[in-house]
């Protein structure tokens, strides 16, 4: 509790990036030690009156309040922190969750445009249903359009879904997905890297995409425009060493045609190719065998 509270106290102090704080803790081996060395070292007009012990006590009180609301608080050095996020450059030092957080989660991200076409929604539902039926977690971003279709299909199939959101976990965005977010937190997981009361911002959604990319073993991009978050996630996924699957829908975009030339990118032009791509990706995961067949993908 002291180490986690010390981390929160460090993150609450302005002037240092979260990634630099995490690096300092990794180098020194203790968040409390980093905080103790930091307090009182600022070059300010007036002397700093805070003490490390006081800041830790305040942060501990925050943690108690969050937990009373059913919010999980997980530091990157905790045993409960998702293992797949530890190896990415954008690793959040702190995660907030509602629901069932698993240290190792066999997940595939299904993402795409908020302004989805009927065909895109159908593909999203079909892929997500197939993944859920085979015990694979469906990760998405809880946005309207493709994300909503992915989460809903996974739930309707009785599978597990994870919503990686771009706001604080106490917020509902978009407001229309309030019920869906609550349902996911009841039977799956809602995950946020932002302070629980944080409002949405222009920067928060690309940051969310980076974490979703790291959390998932692969990303399926159903539809994505030139400036969409799904396109950002596809690029980040390759940086994270995660394969990317592009459907025939997204291959209509110029960015996708160029992106498809990268190693680790699968282009699925139809049911059989999509099946083969996902099967090949999941067969390489170390924890479980891959998918041998996806009979329900025949509806694509």
Express each pLDDT in 101-121 by its tens digit: 999 999 999 999 998 999 999
Query: Strand 94-99 and strand 72-75: pairing?
Result: antiparallel
d(CA 122, CA 117): 9
Under DSSP, is residue 142 helix (H, G, I), strand (E, B) or coil? Answer: coil
3-state secondary structure at position 131: helix
What are 31-73's pLDDT values in tens digits?
999 999 888 665 554 455 678 899 999 999 999 999 999 999 9
pTM of the model: 0.90
Residue 41: what pLDDT?
Answer: 60
Q: What is the DSSP letter of 199?
A: P
Beta-carbon contacts of residue 160 (< 8 Å; ≥ 6 apart):
100, 105, 132, 137, 138, 154, 187, 188, 189
**Helix, coil or strand: residue 7:** helix
pLDDT at residue 297 greater than cutoff 50:
no
Write down the pLDDT at residue 42.
52
- Taking residue 292's Cβ as centre, other Cβ atoms within 10 Å add up to 9
Q: DSSP 3-state assignment of 128?
A: helix
pLDDT of residue 217: 93
| Cα atoms in the Cβ-side hemisphere of radius 13 Å centred on 248 | 10
Residue ranges of the domains in the chain? 1-68, 107-299
Which positions ≥6 away from 194 have C-beta within 8 Å?
96, 166, 167, 168, 169, 204
* CATH number of the structural domain 107-299: 3.40.50.450
Residue 271: the pLDDT is 64
The H or E element spanning position 232 is: helix 229-239
Listed range (20-24, 218-222, 223-227, 264-268) with the worst mean pLDDT = 223-227
């Amino acid at each position: 509790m002291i180490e986690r509270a010390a981390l929160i106290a460090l993150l609450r102090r302005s002037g240092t990036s979260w990634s630099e704080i995490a690096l300092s803790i990794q180098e020194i081996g203790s968040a409390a030690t980093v905080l103790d060395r930091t307090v009182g070292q600022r070059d300010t007009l007036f002397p700093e009156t805070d003490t490390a012990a006081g800041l830790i006590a305040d942060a501990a009180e925050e943690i108690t309040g969050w937990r009373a609301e059913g919010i999980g608080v997980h530091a990157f050095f905790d045993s409960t922190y998702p293992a797949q996020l530890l190896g990415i450059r954008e690793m959040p030092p702190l995660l907030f969750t509602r629901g069932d957080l698993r240290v190792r989660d066999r997940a595939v991200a299904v993402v795409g445009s908020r302004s989805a076409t009927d065909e895109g929604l159908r593909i999203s539902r079909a892929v997500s249903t197939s993944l859920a039926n085979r015990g694979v977690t469906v990760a998405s971003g809880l946005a309207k359009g493709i994300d909503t279709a992915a989460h809903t299909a996974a739930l309707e199939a009785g599978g597990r879904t994870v919503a990686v959101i771009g706001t604080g976990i106490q917020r509902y965005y978009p407001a229309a997905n309030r019920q869906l977010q609550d349902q996911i937190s009841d039977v799956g997981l809602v995950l946020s890297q932002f302070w629980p009361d944080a409002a949405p911002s222009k920067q928060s959604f690309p940051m969310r995409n980076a974490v979703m990319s790291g959390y998932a073993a692969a990303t399926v991009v159903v539809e994505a425009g030139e400036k969409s978050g799904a396109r950002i996630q596809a690029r980040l996924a390759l940086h994270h060493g995660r394969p990317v699957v592009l459907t025939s829908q997204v291959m209509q975009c110029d960015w996708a045609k160029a992106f498809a030339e990268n190693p680790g990118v699968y282009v699925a032009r139809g049911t059989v190719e999509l099946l083969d791509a996902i099967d090949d990706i999941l067969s390489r995961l170390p924890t479980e065998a891959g998918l041998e067949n996806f009979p329900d993908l025949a509806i694509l």
